[in-house]
Amino acid sequence: MSGKEGAGGFRKRKHDNFPHGQRREEKENVNPSSPLMTSFKSFQLELDTRHDKYERLVKLSRDITIESKRTIFLLHRYISAPSGEEVLNESEVKLDAVRRKIKQVAQELIGEDMYQFHRAISPGLQEYIEAVSFQYFIKTRSLISIEEINKQLIFTAEDREETTNMTSNSQGKQPHTWSLRVTPVDYLLGVADLTGELMRLCISSVGNGDIDTPFELSQFLRQIYDGFTFIGNTGPYEVSKKLYTLKQSLAKVENACYTLKVRGSEIPKHMLADVFSTKTELIDQEEGLS
C-alpha cells in the first residue's frame, strides 16, 4: 500500500477523478434503445428468470426433503406398530405427496438442461431415494433399482395439477407427460444414506425382541459395502466421502450380530438394545465421531 492511500484507506479508482457532473452527463447521453442496451436488457431478463427458477427449485427441494424425512420417521415405527400394514399404507400416501412435489420440479425443468439446476434439486432427490428405498426394503428385503425409481417419476397429463410457478419457458401447449430422471450419483448417495436408517432399524428390532433381522441386515449391508468398494476413489468425491459413514453403519450392525451370537443367551432381550447403544457410543468415540 502506498503512502498516498494512507493507513487503512481504499485505493482511489481512476473514474473517481472525473467530475460527478461529467459522469451524470455521460449517463444521460446513453441511448436506451441502442442495440447494445437492448442486448444487455435481454441478458438481464434471462438471468433474472433463471435465478427465480433456481430459487423456486430450492424451495421445492426443501419441501421434498422435509416430507421424505417424515416418511422415514414413520417407517421406523413399522417394527413396533401393532399393524405394520397400516404404517406402509400411510407411508405410501406420504410418498405420493412427495412425488407431486417432484412433478412440480419436472414441470419447472421443461425445456431446460437439468444439470444447470442440479445443485438446487439434488438434496431433495437424495432424501426421496433414501425414503423410497427404505420402504422398498421393508416390503421386499431387497434394494430398489434406479430404473424402478425413475419409472415412478413419470407423470401423465391425467393427474396434472395447475401450478402458479410455471414460467415463460413452457410456452404453448404442454406435453402430455413429465418425467424427472434420477442421476446415478444421486442414487448412490441416497443408498449410502439408507445404510444409516438400516442400522437404526437393526437396533430397534433387537429392542423389540427380533433377533433375526440384525443378521439379515448384516448380510444386506455387507453386499452394499462391497458394491461401493468396487467404485472406490474412482467415483465422484461425494460418493467416496459417504463410504466411511457406510463402513461405520456396517460395523455397528456386525457388532450387534456378534453380541447376539456370543452373549445373546445370557443377556435379557429387553436389555440388548441398551447394550448395543452403549457399544455404538464406544465405537463413535474410538473413531472420533463424538
In the chain, beta strands by DSSP E: 154-156, 177-179
In the block, which residue shows the cell 473413531? 287
DSSP state of 18: S
| Residue 171 CB burial class (10 angstroms; 0-12, 13-18, ≥19) | exposed
According to the annotation, is 85 in a ligand binding site?
no
Alpha carbon distances (Å) from 236 to 57, 153, 222, 233 = 23, 24, 21, 8
Distance CA 235, CA 17 (A): 54
According to the annotation, is 130 in a ligand binding site?
yes
Distance CA 232, CA 100 (A): 35
Distance CA 190, CA 239 (A): 10
In the block, which residue shows the cell 485505493? 11
- Known binding residues are 130, 197
- Known binding residues for Mg(2+) are 130, 197
